[in-house]
Amino acid sequence: MDSSGAVGTLIMIVTGLTTFKGLKDYAYFEAYKFNIDKILINKEYKRLITSGFLHGSWLHYGFNMIALLSFSFSLELTFGYVKFLLIYFGSKIGGSLLALFVHRNHGDYSAIGASGAISGVIMSSIILFPDHNIGFVILPFEIKSWIFALLFIVISIFGIKAQRDNIGHEAHLGGALTGILISLILRPSILEQNPWIVLLTAGPIIAFLILIIRNPAVLMAEKYWGETLSRRNFRFREKANPQDLKFKNKSEREASLNQLLDKIKKEGIDSLSKKERELLDQLKNDI
């Protein structure tokens, strides 16, 4: 997987030109980057895709394009040009949609880069060839592709949870899952030939998405992983003081309070668990 296909090369060239334009022209960069308010309020849905043609630096661009060209050849041979484009742009949209969901309450959140699309391409290749080795440009060793996939997913999940860096982990995870799903639709035989790699990659992502959809507070508090997981000590211990629950910022506290109030409105105050009541009391005091 060290050669580039024609479509991958074309994407690299076009992305290079638009990145050059964006780095030189601030207005152009601002007009096409991913931005929550511009998408949700102004309905500029084009940004879900156009942000993938912009990069913050040539180093950012270089890493993404090396990754793209390392995997595009095998996928173009396997699926053909049209289906490869479907995987690439479908993964880009999938990554952007997950970022939109995770940051829907952060109106000023912005992002750029093709990493969501490339994550989908990489995962598509891995579920096709799980026993292939993946090498790294700056490291003198290779690892099995399925090991790389698992590490990638774990890092992305904890990156989304922590929100301590400028990496678009949401785009990575959303793009990865979309790439897997589109590949399964295009070639269902993958599920028969390598069911274990599909379960190993898609399983943790889907489980995490269900968790944050059912309990958005998981994304808002540093030590909180939900009521069910708390019983197995993934959260804080049952006797812990609710004041130990730390939120990342004021907007996260307000969003968590709104979630609890919405639940009360729909299901009544009795629907809150003991921990949710304690959390509600804390939030009312903090805000």
Out of 115, 125, 145, 256, the active site residue is 115
Q: How far is CA 213 from CA 126, 199, 210, 244, 270, in A?
A: 27, 20, 5, 24, 21
Could you give phi then psi for residue 108, rounded to 5 degrees? -95, 5
3-state secondary structure of 144: strand
Maximum C-alpha span of the chain = 60
Q: How far is CA 166 from CA 6, 160, 163, 169, in A?
A: 31, 11, 8, 9
- Distance (Å, whole) CA 248 – CA 153: 23
Please give the distance of CA 275 from its chain centroid, rounded to a whole number: 29
Burial of 156 (0-12, 13-18, 19+ CB in 10 A): buried
**Residue 172 falls in the annotated catalytic set:** yes
Contact 133, 125 (CB under 8 A): no
**Residue 183 falls in the annotated catalytic set:** no
State the angle between helix axes of 58-79 and 81-102 in degrees (0 to 180), rounded to the nearest 10: 130
Tokens of 98: 């997950």
Q: How far is CA 265 from CA 7, 259, 262, 272, in A?
A: 51, 10, 5, 11
Out of 74, 96, 172, 183, the active site residue is 172
Per the rule left: phi > 0, alpha: psi between -120 and 50, beta: everything else, 240 is: beta
Residue count (the chain): 287
DSSP designation for 271: G
Question: What are the catalytic residues?
Answer: 115, 172
